[in-house]
Amino acid sequence: SVLYVSGEESAGQSKLRASRLGIDSDYLYISSQTNLEEITHQISQLNPKIVIIDSILSAAR
């Protein structure tokens, strides 16, 4: 599974983009979280194989 954290788009926008690109959403979790504590909580809850944070600057605020 993949956790994609976007600090610049809403989760809904990211889901629409993934759908348009034909990405299998069964293994994709999308978050618009920018709080690092919340992001680490999501990682521990979901236990994804891959975590993508876009962009790290937005998560560091």
- The answer, as to whether pTM is greater than 0.85, is no
Domain ranges of the chain: 2-59
- What is the residue-wise DSSP string for 32-60? ----HHHHHHHHHHH--SEEEEE-HHHHT
Distance CA 29, CA 11 (A): 9
pLDDT tens digit sequence for 3-61:
999 988 898 998 898 899 998 888 999 999 989 999 999 999 999 999 999 877 766 65
